[in-house]
C-alpha cells in the first residue's frame, strides 16, 4: 500500500509513518519546500502559498491529513486563534482540492479532526450523530471538516477522525502532567465532574489503519476509548499509577489566570462524554479500554527519542 501523510513530524503522524514503513508500505510525507529530509519519498507543499506538488500524489492508495497548529500549547490570543483555524482550514482545502483533481485519486482520505467538535456536552453521551457544539473549538472543527468538501464532492471516501486526548509519553498532554503528578501536585480541574475523552497512541494508529481498510466507514468517526472517565477519575487514576497522592484541586479562576479564560473554559473545564459508536459498530477492537491499565502500559516504557 502507498500512503501519503501530512503532519508526519508530529506525535501521531510520525508514529503512523514509522508503523507503515515497518510493515513494508511506501510512505510519502508532505513537507514544506524549505524542509531538508534525507531519504524517503516526499511531496512538497505549502498551504500558506497555495502550493502543492499534486502530481506526487497520483496513484496513492490513502492520504492521512494530520497537519495543524497545536491547540493547547499556547494562550489563545487573537493571533493564535487565527493561526489554529487557518492551519486547519487552508491546508485541508488545499489538499482536498488537489486530491479531487487527480486522474487517479486515493480510495480514502482520512482527515484529522477532534472531539472538540461537540463543545461542552455536559453528561450527555456523544456519538457521531450528535450535532456540533458551540465555542471556539467547535467552530474550528466544524470549519476544518467543511474544508474537505472538495474531496467529498469528488467521490473520495472521506473520514473525519475526531480524536480525543492521545495518551503517550512521547507527546501530547501526558508529558505535561507527569512532573507535577510525580511531585505530588496532581490536581483535578474545577469540579472534576467534566468528562475527559482519551485514547492511547497505539489505538489511535490502529483506528487510522482500520478506517483506511474498511470501505464501509466514512464521515465523522470518534477516535476515543470506549470507557469514558471524568477529570476526577483521570486525576485519581494517574496518581495511583504513579503512586502519588492527588488531594489537590485547581479552581476555575486559577486555571483562567494560568491558561486564559476562554482556553480554560473550553479545553480544561468543558465536558465531552464521547463514545466510539461508529468504530464499535464496524467491529474495531480497542487494545486499551481501561484507563488504569492503559496508563500503566504506556508509562512502562521510556519516551522515544
pLDDT bracket for residue 37 (50, 70, 90): low
Pair 127, 277: CB distance under 8 Å: yes
Return the pLDDT at 271.
97
Question: Rounded to whole angstroms, how far apart are CA atoms 157 and 141?
Answer: 19
Q: Residue 215 half-sphere exposure, CB side, CA atoms within 13 Å?
A: 5
Backbone CA torsion sign across 286, 118, 82, 192: negative
pLDDT at residue 75 tops 70: yes
271: CB partners within 8 A, 6+ apart: 120, 121, 122, 123, 193, 194, 195
pLDDT bracket for residue 71 (50, 70, 90): confident
Q: How far is CA 193 from the centre of its chain?
A: 23
Rg (CA), the chain: 19
pLDDT digits (tens, 9 = 90+) for 153-162: 999 999 999 9
Backbone CA torsion sign across 69, 113, 256, 245: negative
Backbone CA torsion sign across 257, 172, 132, 222: negative
299: CB partners within 8 A, 6+ apart: 169, 241, 242
pLDDT digits (tens, 9 = 90+) for 232-290: 999 999 999 999 999 999 999 999 998 899 999 999 999 999 999 999 999 999 999 99
Return the pLDDT at 303.
63
Return the pLDDT at 36.
62
Question: Rounded to whole angstroms, how far apart are CA atoms 12 and 170?
Answer: 10
Return the pLDDT at 160.
98
pLDDT at residue 301 tops 90: no
Cα–Cα separations (whole angstroms), residue 203 to 77, 127, 251: 33, 18, 32
Average pLDDT score over the chain = 94
| Residue 230, helix vs strand vs coil | strand
Pair 295, 239: CB distance under 8 Å: no
* Share of residues in the chain with pLDDT > 90 (%): 90
281: CB partners within 8 A, 6+ apart: none
All three cell numbers of 175: 508529558
Q: What is the mean pLDDT of residues 188-215?
A: 97
Return the pLDDT at 43.
95
All three cell numbers of 282: 464496524
Spatial CA neighbour of 222 closest among 295, 141, 294, 155 = 141
List, as one string, the DSSP characters of 76-103.
--HHHHHHHHHHHHHHHHHHHHHHHT-S
Of the spans 70-74, 92-96, 299-303, which averages the highest pLDDT? 92-96
pLDDT digits (tens, 9 = 90+) for 168-200: 999 999 999 999 999 999 999 999 999 999 999
The fold for domain 2-172+197-226+273-287 equals Rossmann fold (3.40.50)
Q: What is the mean pLDDT of residues 64-87?
A: 90
Q: Which residue has the higher pLDDT, 34 or 231?
A: 231
Return the pLDDT at 284.
98
All three cell numbers of 44: 512538497
Question: Rounded to whole angstroms, how far apart are CA atoms 181 and 243?
Answer: 9
Amino acid at each position: 500500500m502507498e500512503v501519503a501523510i501530512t503532519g508526519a513530524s508530529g506525535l501521531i503522524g510520525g508514529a503512523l509513518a514509522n508503523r507503515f514503513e515497518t510493515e513494508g508500505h511506501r510512505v510519502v510525507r508532505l513537507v514544506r519546500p524549505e524542509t531538508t529530509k534525507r531519504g524517503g519519498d516526499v511531496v512538497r507543499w505549502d498551504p500558506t502559498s497555495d502550493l502543492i506538488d499534486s502530481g506526487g500524489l497520483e496513484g496513492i492508495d490513502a492520504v492521512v491529513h494530520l497537519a495543524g497548529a497545536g491547540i493547547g500549547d499556547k494562550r489563545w490570543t487573537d493571533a493564535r486563534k487565527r493561526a489554529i483555524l487557518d492551519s486547519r482550514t487552508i491546508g485541508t482545502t488545499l489538499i482536498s482540492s488537489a486530491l479531487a483533481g487527480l486522474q487517479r485519486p486515493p480510495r480514502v482520505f482520512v482527515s484529522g479532526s477532534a472531539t472538540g467538535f461537540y463543545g461542552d456536552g455536559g453528561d450527555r453521551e456523544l456519538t457521531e450523530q450528535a450535532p456540533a457544539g458551540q465555542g471556539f473549538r467547535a467552530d474550528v472543527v466544524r470549519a476544518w471538516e467543511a474544508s474537505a468538501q472538495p474531496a467529498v464532492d469528488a467521490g473520495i471516501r472521506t473520514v473525519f477522525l475526531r480524536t480525543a486526548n492521545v495518551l503517550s509519553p512521547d507527546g501530547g498532554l501526558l508529558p505535561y502532567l507527569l512532573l507535577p503528578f510525580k511531585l505530588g501536585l496532581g490536581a483535578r480541574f474545577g469540579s472534576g465532574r467534566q468528562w475527559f475523552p482519551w485514547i492511547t497512541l497505539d489505538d489511535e494508529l490502529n483506528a487510522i489503519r482500520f478506517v483506511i481498510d474498511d470501505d464501509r466507514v466514512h464521515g465523522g468517526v470518534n477516535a476515543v476509548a470506549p470507557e469514558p472517565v471524568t477529570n476526577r477519575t483521570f486525576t485519581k487514576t494517574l496518581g495511583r499509577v504513579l503512586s502519588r497522592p492527588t488531594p489537590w484541586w485547581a479552581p476555575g479562576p486559577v486555571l483562567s489566570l494560568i491558561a486564559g479564560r476562554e482556553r480554560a473554559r473550553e479545553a480544561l473545564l468543558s465536558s465531552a462524554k464521547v463514545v466510539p459508536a461508529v468504530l464499535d459498530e464496524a467491529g474495531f477492537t480497542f487494545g486499551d479500554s481501561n484507563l488504569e491499565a492503559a496508563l500503566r502500559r504506556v508509562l512502562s516504557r521510556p519516551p522515544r527519542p
